[in-house]
Amino acid sequence: MDYAQQVQTLAQALQQAERILLITGAGLSADSGLPTYRGMGGLYNGHTDEGMPIEQALSGTMLRQRPELCWKYLAQLGQAVLAAAPNAGHHAIAALQQRKGQCWVLTQNIDGYHRQAGSPAARLIEIHGQLAPLFCQSCGKVSENLEACLAQPLPPCCDTCGGVLRPPVVLFEEMLVDDDIGRLYREVAKGFEVVVLIGTSASFPYILEPALRCQQAGGLVVEINPQRSALSERVDIAIAAPASSTLQDLLTSFS
């Protein structure tokens, strides 16, 4: 199938389906100008300025032991997110969710763009958390203004007790949030008729499992990604195109 046929086939499947799961990764937000975490144009490649793997710098251990170093790289992420905005792909996803009452979004992204674009919180699972709002690790006070917090000397500290602030994000070496994992697997257990992987490398078990379970049950699994992923050879349709423009075309075909 050519691109137009692939998009039309997916649009028809979405129209007919009730249970839909859209899984989004950094490739979707890359179309907003936000750097991807890995690969071409990645925000981090290899080691940090300090000569350590970025996974070590952005770990829960580093936040506890050397919060100023962990925050050096958290601040880079935060500034990149604040400098960009949701793109047409995020808005197309939100529009699709408005039309399909059992369309869920599972995102690996921590930028909050799905919420900003209008995806309903009740059907949005931000599996790696969010960059805002920050909260104090000592007293729990919430600091809503991420931009103001990043303007402070690093690490940003609580204006009430002086404790170090952190975002509600899952750092390396930290466990995923039980509530989020529980929501995901409750919905996976109900089954999905269509799973669409959008701009993700599909390298985590909680990405692979919903897709493969859908396929095993006779459902349709589609990938939208100009780059090859761990699932490219196994999906039913691989659309090798940018996420944002493809989702716009999909929404037009769906209409």
Tell whether pTM > 0.75. yes
- Give the span between the Cα atoms of 72 and 196, in whole angstroms: 34
| Mean pLDDT, residues 34-47 taken together | 58
Return the pLDDT at 51: 84
Asked if omega into 155 is within 30° of 0 (cis), the reply is yes
Does 216 have pLDDT greater than 60? yes
- Give the span between the Cα atoms of 116 and 64, in whole angstroms: 30
Question: For 1-34+86-131+175-255, CATH number?
Answer: 3.40.50.1220
Phi, psi of 222 (to 5 degrees): -125, 140
Return the pLDDT at 39: 44
Q: What is the pLDDT of residues 74-130, one digit of tens each?
A: 999 999 999 999 999 999 999 999 999 999 999 999 999 999 999 999 999 999 999
Return the pLDDT at 60: 97
- Fold of the CATH domain 37-83+133-166: SIR2/SIRT2 'Small Domain' (3.30.1600)
- Give the span between the Cα atoms of 90 and 154, in whole angstroms: 31
| Mean pLDDT, residues 201-229 taken together | 93
- Give the span between the Cα atoms of 186 and 101, in whole angstroms: 17
Asked whether the domain spanning 37-83+133-166 has the same topology as the one spanning 1-34+86-131+175-255, the reply is: no
Catalytic residue among 90, 91, 114, 128: 128
Q: Which residue's structure tokens are 């944002």?
A: 244
Return the pLDDT at 201: 85
Return the pLDDT at 61: 97
Return the pLDDT at 33: 85
Q: What are the structural domain ranges in the chain?
A: 1-34+86-131+175-255, 37-83+133-166
Give catalytic status of residue 128 as yes or no: yes
Percentage of the chain exceeding pLDDT 70: 95
Structural tokens at position 7? 């998009």
Return the pLDDT at 54: 85
Better pLDDT: 166 or 49: 166
- Give the span between the Cα atoms of 254 and 176, in whole angstroms: 34
In which band, very low, low, confident or very high, does the pLDDT at 202 lie, cut at 50, 70 and 90? confident
CB 98 within 8 A of CB 134: no
| Mean pLDDT, residues 163-188 taken together | 96
> How many C-beta atoms lie closer than 10 Å to residue 181's C-beta?
14
